[in-house]
Protein backbone atom coordinates (compact mmCIF):
# COMPACT_ATOMS: atom_id res chain seq x y z
CA UNK A 1 0.00 0.00 0.00
CA UNK A 2 1.34 3.40 -1.00
CA UNK A 3 0.66 4.93 2.41
CA UNK A 4 2.71 2.34 4.27
CA UNK A 5 5.84 3.64 6.02
CA UNK A 6 5.35 7.24 4.90
CA UNK A 7 4.48 10.39 6.86
CA UNK A 8 1.45 12.26 5.59
CA UNK A 9 0.78 15.91 6.43
CA UNK A 10 -2.66 17.44 5.86
CA UNK A 11 -2.53 21.24 6.03
CA UNK A 12 -5.94 22.45 7.17
CA UNK A 13 -8.42 21.01 9.65
CA UNK A 14 -11.73 21.71 7.93
CA UNK A 15 -14.25 18.98 7.10
CA UNK A 16 -12.26 17.83 4.05
CA UNK A 17 -8.93 17.57 5.83
CA UNK A 18 -10.37 15.86 8.91
CA UNK A 19 -12.40 13.40 6.82
CA UNK A 20 -9.28 12.46 4.88
CA UNK A 21 -7.31 11.95 8.10
CA UNK A 22 -10.04 9.66 9.45
CA UNK A 23 -10.21 7.57 6.28
CA UNK A 24 -6.43 7.22 6.05
CA UNK A 25 -6.08 6.27 9.72
CA UNK A 26 -8.72 3.59 9.26
CA UNK A 27 -6.27 2.07 6.79
CA UNK A 28 -3.20 2.30 9.00
CA UNK A 29 -1.61 5.45 7.61
CA UNK A 30 0.56 7.81 9.69
CA UNK A 31 -1.18 11.17 9.46
CA UNK A 32 -0.88 14.59 11.06
CA UNK A 33 -3.29 17.46 10.50
CA UNK A 34 -1.88 20.97 10.91
CA UNK A 35 -4.58 23.49 11.77
CA UNK A 36 -4.18 27.24 12.33
CA UNK A 37 -6.86 27.49 15.07
CA UNK A 38 -5.38 27.74 18.55
CA UNK A 39 -7.28 24.71 19.85
CA UNK A 40 -10.35 22.54 19.32
CA UNK A 41 -12.52 25.02 21.21
CA UNK A 42 -12.00 27.86 18.74
CA UNK A 43 -15.32 29.36 17.66
CA UNK A 44 -16.44 27.93 14.32
CA UNK A 45 -17.93 30.66 12.12
CA UNK A 46 -20.23 30.46 9.14
CA UNK A 47 -23.66 29.10 8.36
CA UNK A 48 -24.85 25.52 8.74
CA UNK A 49 -23.83 22.82 6.28
CA UNK A 50 -26.22 20.68 4.25
CA UNK A 51 -24.67 17.32 3.40
CA UNK A 52 -25.63 15.46 0.24
CA UNK A 53 -26.30 11.77 -0.18
CA UNK A 54 -23.76 11.22 -2.97
CA UNK A 55 -20.89 13.22 -1.43
CA UNK A 56 -20.73 14.45 2.17
CA UNK A 57 -22.96 11.72 3.59
CA UNK A 58 -21.25 9.11 1.43
CA UNK A 59 -17.89 10.07 2.94
CA UNK A 60 -19.26 9.94 6.49
CA UNK A 61 -20.76 6.50 5.80
CA UNK A 62 -17.38 5.24 4.59
CA UNK A 63 -15.75 6.77 7.66
CA UNK A 64 -18.14 4.90 9.97
CA UNK A 65 -19.59 8.14 11.35
CA UNK A 66 -23.22 8.10 10.23
CA UNK A 67 -24.57 7.19 13.67
CA UNK A 68 -22.72 10.15 15.17
CA UNK A 69 -24.02 12.39 12.40
CA UNK A 70 -27.61 11.28 12.92
CA UNK A 71 -27.26 12.04 16.62
CA UNK A 72 -26.08 15.59 15.91
CA UNK A 73 -27.83 16.85 12.78
CA UNK A 74 -30.72 19.30 13.05
CA UNK A 75 -34.01 17.92 11.70
CA UNK A 76 -36.02 20.64 10.00
CA UNK A 77 -33.11 23.06 9.67
CA UNK A 78 -33.05 22.35 5.94
CA UNK A 79 -36.53 23.78 5.46
CA UNK A 80 -36.51 27.12 3.65
CA UNK A 81 -38.72 30.09 3.16
CA UNK A 82 -38.39 32.05 -0.07
CA UNK A 83 -39.30 35.71 0.39
CA UNK A 84 -39.13 38.89 -1.63
CA UNK A 85 -37.27 42.05 -0.59
CA UNK A 86 -40.35 43.19 1.36
CA UNK A 87 -40.30 39.93 3.36
CA UNK A 88 -43.45 38.60 1.71
CA UNK A 89 -43.35 34.79 1.78
CA UNK A 90 -43.53 33.32 -1.72
CA UNK A 91 -42.84 29.71 -0.81
CA UNK A 92 -42.68 27.93 2.53
CA UNK A 93 -41.30 24.41 2.91
CA UNK A 94 -42.65 24.32 6.46
CA UNK A 95 -46.20 24.20 5.12
CA UNK A 96 -45.92 22.73 1.61
CA UNK A 97 -47.29 19.32 2.71
CA UNK A 98 -44.63 17.48 0.77
CA UNK A 99 -43.62 14.02 2.12
CA UNK A 100 -40.78 14.25 4.60
CA UNK A 101 -37.44 13.24 3.07
CA UNK A 102 -35.05 11.14 5.10
CA UNK A 103 -31.77 9.27 4.93
CA UNK A 104 -31.45 7.17 1.81
CA UNK A 105 -33.40 9.66 -0.29
CA UNK A 106 -30.98 11.23 -2.81
CA UNK A 107 -32.70 14.61 -2.40
CA UNK A 108 -32.43 14.68 1.41
CA UNK A 109 -29.92 17.28 2.53
CA UNK A 110 -29.76 17.20 6.33
CA UNK A 111 -28.23 20.22 8.05
CA UNK A 112 -25.57 20.20 10.71
CA UNK A 113 -23.75 23.05 12.38
CA UNK A 114 -20.05 23.32 11.64
CA UNK A 115 -19.06 22.89 15.29
CA UNK A 116 -20.77 19.53 15.85
CA UNK A 117 -19.48 18.21 12.51
CA UNK A 118 -15.96 19.19 13.44
CA UNK A 119 -16.38 17.55 16.87
CA UNK A 120 -17.56 14.28 15.28
CA UNK A 121 -14.55 14.20 12.99
CA UNK A 122 -12.04 15.21 15.67
CA UNK A 123 -13.25 12.57 18.09
CA UNK A 124 -12.87 9.91 15.40
CA UNK A 125 -9.13 10.55 15.06
CA UNK A 126 -6.24 9.08 17.01
CA UNK A 127 -5.09 11.25 19.93
CA UNK A 128 -2.75 14.11 18.95
CA UNK A 129 -3.51 13.75 15.25
CA UNK A 130 -4.28 17.47 15.00
CA UNK A 131 -1.43 19.88 15.69
CA UNK A 132 -3.14 23.14 16.67
CA UNK A 133 -1.79 26.68 16.32
CA UNK A 134 -0.07 25.66 13.08
CA UNK A 135 -0.68 28.40 10.54
CA UNK A 136 1.15 27.55 7.33
CA UNK A 137 4.07 29.80 6.33
CA UNK A 138 6.09 27.97 3.68
CA UNK A 139 7.40 24.58 2.59
CA UNK A 140 10.54 23.36 0.88
CA UNK A 141 11.35 20.05 -0.75
CA UNK A 142 14.61 18.21 -0.16
CA UNK A 143 14.79 15.02 -2.18
CA UNK A 144 11.43 13.32 -1.68
CA UNK A 145 10.70 15.00 1.65
CA UNK A 146 8.82 18.21 2.39
CA UNK A 147 9.76 20.47 5.27
CA UNK A 148 6.78 22.59 6.30
CA UNK A 149 7.29 25.78 8.32
CA UNK A 150 4.53 27.39 10.37
CA UNK A 151 4.06 30.96 11.53
CA UNK A 152 4.95 30.01 15.11
CA UNK A 153 8.38 28.80 13.97
CA UNK A 154 7.65 25.08 14.26
CA UNK A 155 8.71 22.71 11.49
CA UNK A 156 7.24 19.43 10.27
CA UNK A 157 8.48 16.91 7.73
CA UNK A 158 6.36 14.71 5.50
CA UNK A 159 6.69 12.39 2.53
CA UNK A 160 3.26 13.44 1.22
CA UNK A 161 1.49 16.77 1.75
CA UNK A 162 -2.19 17.40 1.08
CA UNK A 163 -3.30 21.02 0.90
CA UNK A 164 -6.68 21.33 2.61
CA UNK A 165 -6.10 24.99 3.47
CA UNK A 166 -9.19 26.47 1.94
CA UNK A 167 -10.12 29.34 -0.33
CA UNK A 168 -6.96 31.34 0.36
CA UNK A 169 -4.65 28.36 0.02
CA UNK A 170 -0.97 29.19 0.39
CA UNK A 171 0.01 25.84 -1.15
CA UNK A 172 -2.05 25.77 -4.35
CA UNK A 173 0.56 27.80 -6.28
CA UNK A 174 3.09 24.99 -5.81
CA UNK A 175 0.76 22.75 -7.82
CA UNK A 176 -0.67 25.14 -10.42
CA UNK A 177 -0.37 28.84 -11.32
CA UNK A 178 -4.07 28.93 -12.26
CA UNK A 179 -6.08 31.16 -9.94
CA UNK A 180 -9.82 31.35 -9.25
CA UNK A 181 -11.64 34.11 -11.13
CA UNK A 182 -13.93 36.71 -9.54
CA UNK A 183 -17.61 35.92 -10.14
CA UNK A 184 -18.83 39.52 -10.14
CA UNK A 185 -20.73 39.04 -6.87
CA UNK A 186 -19.69 39.95 -3.33
CA UNK A 187 -21.39 39.05 -0.05
CA UNK A 188 -21.16 40.53 3.42
CA UNK A 189 -21.31 37.94 6.18
CA UNK A 190 -22.56 38.57 9.68
CA UNK A 191 -23.51 36.61 12.81
CA UNK A 192 -26.02 37.33 15.55
CA UNK A 193 -26.11 35.54 18.91
CA UNK A 194 -29.32 35.07 20.93
CA UNK A 195 -31.28 35.78 17.76
CA UNK A 196 -34.68 35.17 19.36
CA UNK A 197 -34.29 38.29 21.51
CA UNK A 198 -32.05 40.44 19.33
CA UNK A 199 -33.81 39.98 15.98
CA UNK A 200 -37.29 38.71 16.91
CA UNK A 201 -38.96 39.44 13.56
CA UNK A 202 -36.21 37.70 11.60
CA UNK A 203 -36.25 34.84 14.11
CA UNK A 204 -39.99 34.35 13.60
CA UNK A 205 -39.62 34.49 9.83
CA UNK A 206 -36.77 31.99 9.98
CA UNK A 207 -38.63 29.23 11.89
CA UNK A 208 -35.32 27.51 12.78
CA UNK A 209 -34.61 26.94 9.10
CA UNK A 210 -33.39 29.13 6.25
CA UNK A 211 -34.54 32.31 4.55
CA UNK A 212 -33.71 33.05 0.92
CA UNK A 213 -34.56 36.68 0.21
CA UNK A 214 -34.50 37.95 -3.39
CA UNK A 215 -35.13 41.33 -4.92
CA UNK A 216 -33.67 44.30 -6.82
CA UNK A 217 -30.79 42.16 -8.08
CA UNK A 218 -29.64 41.36 -4.54
CA UNK A 219 -29.96 38.53 -2.01
CA UNK A 220 -30.11 38.04 1.73
CA UNK A 221 -29.70 34.49 2.99
CA UNK A 222 -30.19 33.71 6.68
CA UNK A 223 -29.53 30.39 8.43
CA UNK A 224 -30.46 29.34 11.95
CA UNK A 225 -27.94 27.52 14.13
CA UNK A 226 -28.36 25.10 16.98
CA UNK A 227 -26.90 27.48 19.57
CA UNK A 228 -29.64 30.07 18.98
CA UNK A 229 -27.54 32.24 16.70
CA UNK A 230 -28.02 33.04 13.03
CA UNK A 231 -25.59 33.58 10.18
CA UNK A 232 -26.50 35.82 7.26
CA UNK A 233 -25.10 36.84 3.90
CA UNK A 234 -26.11 39.92 1.92
CA UNK A 235 -25.10 39.42 -1.72
CA UNK A 236 -24.85 41.96 -4.55
CA UNK A 237 -23.05 42.57 -7.83
CA UNK A 238 -19.94 44.70 -7.39
CA UNK A 239 -16.43 45.27 -8.75
CA UNK A 240 -13.78 42.92 -7.39
CA UNK A 241 -12.11 45.70 -5.38
CA UNK A 242 -15.44 47.04 -4.14
CA UNK A 243 -14.57 47.15 -0.44
CA UNK A 244 -11.35 49.11 -0.97
CA UNK A 245 -13.09 51.55 -3.31
CA UNK A 246 -15.65 52.45 -0.67
CA UNK A 247 -13.11 52.39 2.19
CA UNK A 248 -15.64 50.74 4.47
CA UNK A 249 -14.68 49.88 8.04
CA UNK A 250 -16.17 46.44 8.64
CA UNK A 251 -15.58 46.73 12.37
CA UNK A 252 -17.78 49.86 12.52
CA UNK A 253 -21.41 48.77 12.77
CA UNK A 254 -22.81 52.25 12.12
CA UNK A 255 -20.79 52.58 8.92
CA UNK A 256 -21.92 49.23 7.53
CA UNK A 257 -25.53 49.85 8.58
CA UNK A 258 -25.52 53.16 6.71
CA UNK A 259 -24.07 51.42 3.65
CA UNK A 260 -26.78 48.75 3.85
CA UNK A 261 -29.60 51.31 4.19
CA UNK A 262 -28.32 53.05 1.07
CA UNK A 263 -27.56 50.01 -1.11
CA UNK A 264 -30.65 48.00 -0.01
CA UNK A 265 -32.89 51.06 0.22
CA UNK A 266 -35.84 49.31 -1.45
CA UNK A 267 -35.76 46.42 1.03
CA UNK A 268 -38.09 46.32 4.02
CA UNK A 269 -36.66 47.62 7.30
CA UNK A 270 -36.98 44.13 8.84
CA UNK A 271 -33.64 43.34 7.22
CA UNK A 272 -31.98 46.20 9.08
CA UNK A 273 -32.33 44.10 12.26
CA UNK A 274 -29.53 41.94 10.94
CA UNK A 275 -27.03 44.77 10.57
CA UNK A 276 -28.13 46.55 13.74
CA UNK A 277 -27.53 43.50 15.92
CA UNK A 278 -24.66 41.64 14.26
CA UNK A 279 -21.34 41.01 15.91
CA UNK A 280 -18.41 42.93 14.46
CA UNK A 281 -16.43 42.77 12.37
CA UNK A 282 -18.56 41.94 9.37
CA UNK A 283 -16.75 39.86 6.76
CA UNK A 284 -16.66 40.94 3.10
CA UNK A 285 -16.57 37.92 0.81
CA UNK A 286 -15.91 38.53 -2.88
CA UNK A 287 -16.97 35.25 -4.48
CA UNK A 288 -14.52 33.43 -6.74
CA UNK A 289 -14.76 30.40 -8.99
CA UNK A 290 -12.15 28.08 -10.45
CA UNK A 291 -11.48 28.15 -14.19
CA UNK A 292 -13.86 25.47 -15.43
CA UNK A 293 -11.19 23.93 -17.68
CA UNK A 294 -8.29 23.98 -15.24
CA UNK A 295 -5.62 21.30 -15.53
CA UNK A 296 -2.07 20.66 -14.35
CA UNK A 297 0.52 17.92 -14.21
CA UNK A 298 0.34 15.76 -11.11
CA UNK A 299 3.21 15.91 -8.64
CA UNK A 300 4.66 12.89 -6.89
CA UNK A 301 4.10 13.92 -3.28
CA UNK A 302 1.79 16.95 -3.17
CA UNK A 303 -1.92 17.35 -3.94
CA UNK A 304 -4.95 19.28 -2.71
CA UNK A 305 -8.63 19.02 -1.96
CA UNK A 306 -11.64 21.17 -1.22
CA UNK A 307 -11.62 24.91 -1.79
CA UNK A 308 -7.85 24.85 -2.27
CA UNK A 309 -8.42 22.75 -5.38
CA UNK A 310 -11.75 24.04 -6.67
CA UNK A 311 -13.09 27.15 -4.99
CA UNK A 312 -16.62 27.96 -6.09
CA UNK A 313 -19.42 30.29 -4.92
CA UNK A 314 -21.63 28.91 -2.14
CA UNK A 315 -25.00 29.23 -3.89
CA UNK A 316 -25.38 25.52 -4.62
CA UNK A 317 -24.20 24.12 -1.28
CA UNK A 318 -21.47 22.08 -2.94
CA UNK A 319 -18.32 23.36 -1.20
CA UNK A 320 -18.17 21.13 1.87
CA UNK A 321 -19.68 18.21 -0.03
CA UNK A 322 -17.04 18.36 -2.75
CA UNK A 323 -14.31 18.61 -0.10
CA UNK A 324 -15.54 15.52 1.75
CA UNK A 325 -15.96 13.59 -1.49
CA UNK A 326 -12.41 14.64 -2.44
CA UNK A 327 -11.25 13.15 0.86
CA UNK A 328 -13.06 9.89 0.15
CA UNK A 329 -11.77 9.57 -3.40
CA UNK A 330 -8.20 10.59 -2.54
CA UNK A 331 -8.06 8.07 0.30
CA UNK A 332 -9.34 5.33 -2.01
CA UNK A 333 -6.70 6.15 -4.59
CA UNK A 334 -3.90 6.21 -2.01
CA UNK A 335 -4.80 2.81 -0.58
CA UNK A 336 -5.58 1.16 -3.92
CA UNK A 337 -2.97 -1.57 -4.57
CA UNK A 338 -3.40 -1.16 -8.32
CA UNK A 339 -1.41 2.08 -8.21
CA UNK A 340 2.32 1.49 -8.04
CA UNK A 341 3.43 5.07 -7.36
CA UNK A 342 2.03 8.01 -5.42
CA UNK A 343 2.19 10.14 -8.54
CA UNK A 344 -0.02 7.75 -10.49
CA UNK A 345 -2.55 7.62 -7.66
CA UNK A 346 -2.53 11.41 -7.33
CA UNK A 347 -2.87 11.91 -11.09
CA UNK A 348 -5.91 9.67 -11.32
CA UNK A 349 -7.51 11.28 -8.28
CA UNK A 350 -6.91 14.78 -9.64
CA UNK A 351 -8.23 13.96 -13.11
CA UNK A 352 -11.44 12.58 -11.61
CA UNK A 353 -11.72 15.45 -9.11
CA UNK A 354 -11.28 18.18 -11.73
CA UNK A 355 -14.07 16.81 -13.95
CA UNK A 356 -16.47 16.49 -11.02
CA UNK A 357 -15.54 19.87 -9.55
CA UNK A 358 -15.87 21.69 -12.87
CA UNK A 359 -19.46 20.47 -13.21
CA UNK A 360 -20.30 21.56 -9.66
CA UNK A 361 -18.55 24.90 -10.11
CA UNK A 362 -20.43 25.59 -13.33
CA UNK A 363 -23.74 25.07 -11.56
CA UNK A 364 -22.64 27.16 -8.58
CA UNK A 365 -21.53 30.03 -10.80
CA UNK A 366 -24.75 29.95 -12.83
CA UNK A 367 -26.79 30.03 -9.60
CA UNK A 368 -24.74 32.93 -8.28
CA UNK A 369 -25.41 35.03 -11.35
CA UNK A 370 -29.13 34.41 -11.81
CA UNK A 371 -29.80 34.81 -8.10
CA UNK A 372 -28.53 38.37 -8.48
CA UNK A 373 -30.79 39.20 -11.41
CA UNK A 374 -33.94 41.28 -11.01
CA UNK A 375 -36.17 38.30 -11.79
CA UNK A 376 -34.40 35.91 -9.39
CA UNK A 377 -37.44 35.14 -7.27
CA UNK A 378 -39.41 34.11 -10.37
CA UNK A 379 -36.62 31.76 -11.39
CA UNK A 380 -36.35 30.38 -7.86
CA UNK A 381 -40.05 29.71 -7.70
CA UNK A 382 -39.95 27.93 -11.05
CA UNK A 383 -37.47 25.48 -9.52
CA UNK A 384 -40.14 24.43 -7.05
CA UNK A 385 -42.90 24.48 -9.68
CA UNK A 386 -44.86 26.83 -7.49
CA UNK A 387 -46.70 30.05 -8.45
CA UNK A 388 -44.91 33.27 -7.63
Annotated binding-site ranges: 43, 50, 114, 307
Torsion of CA 272, 273, 274, 279, to 10 degrees: 120
Q: What is the full DSSP assignment across 48-96?
A: -EE--TTTHHHHHHHTT-HHHHHHHS-TTTT-EEEEETT--EEEETTSS
Torsion of CA 83, 87, 93, 94, to 10 degrees: 180
191 phi/psi in degrees, rounded to 5:
-135, 145
With CA atoms as reference, report the closest residue to 203 among 270, 137, 253.
270
List b or e across 119-143, with b for residues whose CB sees 16 or more CB atoms inside 10 angstroms. ebbbebbeeebbeeebebeebeeee
Residues at the binding site for NADPH are: 43
Give how far Cα 154 sits from Cα of 131, 147, 229, 375, Å. Answer: 11, 10, 36, 53
Q: How many residues does the chain have?
A: 388
Q: How many CA atoms lie within 13 A of 274 on its CB side?
A: 29
Residues at the binding site for FAD are: 50, 114, 307
Alpha helices, H only, the chain: 15-25, 56-62, 66-72, 114-123, 195-198, 200-206, 242-246, 253-263, 272-277, 307-310, 319-335, 342-370, 376-383
Number of H helices, E strands in the chain: 13, 17
Hey, which residues does 212 pair with through a beta bridge?
82, 221
Give CA–CA dist 109/317, Å, rounded: 10
Give CA–CA dist 283/277, Å, rounded: 15
With CA atoms as reference, report the closest residue to 72 among 24, 112, 103.
112
Rounded (10°) angle between helices 114-123 and 15-25: 20
Amino acid sequence: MLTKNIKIAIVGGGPGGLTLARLLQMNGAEVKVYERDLNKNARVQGATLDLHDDSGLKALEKAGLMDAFKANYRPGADKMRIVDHLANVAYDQHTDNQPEETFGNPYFRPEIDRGPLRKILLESLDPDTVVWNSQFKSMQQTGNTWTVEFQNGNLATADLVIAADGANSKIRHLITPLKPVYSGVTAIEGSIYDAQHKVPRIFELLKDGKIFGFGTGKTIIVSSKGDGSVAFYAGFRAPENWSSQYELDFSDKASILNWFKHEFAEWDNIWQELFENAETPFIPRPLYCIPLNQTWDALSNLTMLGDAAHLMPPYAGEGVNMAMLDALELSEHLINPEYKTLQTAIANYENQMRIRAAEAAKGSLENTLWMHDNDAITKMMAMFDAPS
